[in-house]
Amino acid sequence: MFMDAIMSYWVPGKIIICGEHAVVYGVPALAMPIAKGMRLELIEGEIDEFVLSFDGGGTTFRAREDGAPLEKMLYALQSEFQSAFTRKQVRVFSELPTSSGLGSSAALGVGLLNIACHQCGVTANEQELFEQAMKLERFFHGNPSGVDHASIIAGELIRYEKGRTSLPWMPCTPEAMPGLVVAHGGPHQGTEKAVSALRRRADSNPKWFQSCLETIRNIVNQTERALLDGDWVKAGQLLSENHVVLSDFGVSTPNLDALCDKAIQAGALGAKLTGAGCGGAMIALCQPEDRQKVVRALEESATVL
């Protein structure tokens, strides 16, 4: 029987509209939270350790300095906020597939930090929360861009650029995008692996890579303008153009390509992978009246969120 929660906190996942991978190299990206996310519940622990369990206790992790990346992250969090997590357990109920490019690790970090701050009576502004979340994310991804955390913390669609001295978000479209579809086609190989593979290609052909980065920069700028203007047709075309560059990067897969093609054949204005690629999720932008047709087409071979 579940114990009553001391507190509960819900945090969304995220998608990258355009600019993934390039954002690591200083190119802007557009990203936004999604309606699916995870709920974290803090309860009294049964042992003198900080424990995290997923989906009712099926999978459990303990704070350990020499453990797996998640356990090391829990140890660092407990060391920073000891009074919040002494003899405590956090239950996580997630709607986000892991290894999907939908920001599950960033959502977990942001959620845990909000619980920690609340329990310790600490008021953290958005920049402080962002910086703390980035420290936790490095246990999972060695050199995160920060775009996942920024969009989750902001709670709206943002333009993000790495390396700013203050949290670089900017609302650039209405919160509601009724024609957006998010689908998960299976787990990806891991963000760090995808980023490392692309870095090796970039090092071997820097001229080609710089040209690709400039192409993505132009796509991001044009997409931002199209979203501000409500020009869904143009935005959809630009999403598909971004997918072509990501395919050239080697981070798409036959399954992701097929899902994007299927969405467009069903009436989507454009489609692309979202996140690290090498598997994971894709997005499609439709006119609102065409959304259900696209959803039905994608549901034949993917999970629509």
Exposed / middle / buried, residue 240 (Cβ in 10 Å: 0-12, 13-18, 19+):
buried
Segment holding 270, helix H or strand E: strand 270-274
What is the predicted pLDDT for the residue at 189? 67
| Whole-number pLDDT of residue 166 | 47
Q: Residue 4: what pLDDT? A: 79
The DSSP output letter for 197 is H
Q: Which domains does the chain have, with CATH numbers?
A: 7-160 (3.30.230.10), 180-304 (3.30.70.890)
Give the residue from 101, 100, 188, 95 showing the smallest Cα distance to 111. 95
How would you write the pLDDT of the chain (305 residues) with one tens digit per residue? Answer: 456 788 999 999 999 999 999 998 999 999 999 989 999 999 888 777 888 999 766 788 999 999 899 999 999 999 999 888 888 899 999 999 877 889 999 999 999 999 999 999 989 898 899 999 999 988 887 778 889 999 999 888 888 998 664 444 555 444 557 789 999 988 766 667 777 888 898 899 999 999 999 999 999 999 999 988 889 999 999 999 999 999 999 999 999 999 999 999 999 999 999 998 888 899 999 999 999 999 999 999 999 99
Query: What pTM was estimated for this model as a whole?
Result: 0.90
Query: What is the spatial distance between Cα 47 and Cα 79, in angstroms, rounded to a whole number?
Result: 17
Question: 106 near 149, Cβ under 8 Å?
Answer: yes
Q: Are strands 51-54 and 88-94 parallel, antiparallel or unpaired?
A: parallel
Would you tell me how many other CB atoms lie within 10 Å of the CB of residue 184?
24
The one-letter code for the residue type at 192 is: E
